[in-house]
Amino acid sequence: MKCAPGAPVTAEMRSMLSAIREGGEVMRKIVRDFIDFQALQDGRLTLQAVRLDVNALARQARLAHEGYARSKNIRVLCELENGLPDVSVDPDRIQQVLANLLGNAIKFSPPGARVTLRSRREGQGVCLEVADEGPGLSPADLERVFVKYARLSAKPTGGEKSSGLGLSIAKMLVELHGGRIGVFNNPDRGATFWFTLP
């Protein structure tokens, strides 16, 4: 499609540009996942830890995912406990973990669903949870959910793509902080991914 200089941008052109932008963003994330995974495996990734309020990180993560959630008619809610102790974390890496968990929750939830980001005290540290209203995980999926390149049985509701490394990277990043990560199926529907930070 040729366009003369100064010609108006049509709806078709906007749609094509949007598709190119989205495709580029998917590829950028996949490449970053591969680089981060290799750096973690090689022990080359170091943390730049500072003491901070995890609720502030949670709010930033929610804000960063509002557009994606809105595009799928999904609401992202925050239920954050007040008065949590500050934790010593690398904010960029914890944002990466939250982005993976929130992104997956939105990716596998049907239109009209809710995704809830929670924080609470856990011993001397904190726990962050991301609960969705998707299909949940089969017993087989629960066993291999954090394994690299694992392809789980649930399918993204919008046909999104992934590297298959996101959850294994999240696990390594949480453990690098001295925390734990896990998942359970909700009693009604969906799943809740959680991680702790000491």
Task: Please state the domain extents for the chain.
Answer: 11-197
Please tell me the predicted confidence (pLDDT) of residue 25. Answer: 62
Query: What residues contact 161, with CB distance under 8 A and at least 6 apart?
Result: 26, 30
Residue with the two structure tokens 């997956």: 104
Mean pLDDT, residues 124-146 taken together? 92
How far apart, in whole angstroms, are the C-alpha atoms of residue 141 and residue 150?
A: 9
Burial bucket for residue 119 (CB in 10 Å: 0-12, 13-18, 19+): buried
Residue 142's CB is within 10 A of a number of other CB atoms, namely 16
State the pLDDT at residue 124. Answer: 87
Map residue 149 onto helix, strand or coil: coil
Selected residue with higher pLDDT from 33 and 91:
91
Tell me the CA end-to-end span of the chain in Å, nearest whole number: 55
Q: What is the pLDDT of residues 140-180, one digit of tens each?
A: 989 999 987 777 777 777 667 666 778 988 998 999 999 99
DSSP 86: P
Helix, coil or strand: residue 43: coil
Burial of 25 (0-12, 13-18, 19+ CB in 10 A): exposed
Q: Which helix (H) or strand (E) holds 4?
A: none
Burial class from Cβ neighbours inside 10 Å (0-12, 13-18, 19+) for residue 171 reads buried
CATH of 11-197 among 3.40.50.720, 3.40.50.1100, 3.30.1280.10, 3.30.565.10: 3.30.565.10
**Cβ–Cβ under 8 Å, residues 112 and 133:** no
User: Which tokens belong to 164?
Assistant: 């298959």
On the question of pLDDT at 23 being above 60, the answer is no
Q: How far apart are CA 196 and CA 30, in angstroms?
A: 26
Return d(Cα 9, Cα 7) in angstroms, integer: 7
The tens digit of pLDDT for each residue in 72-104 reads 999 999 999 999 999 999 998 999 999 999 999
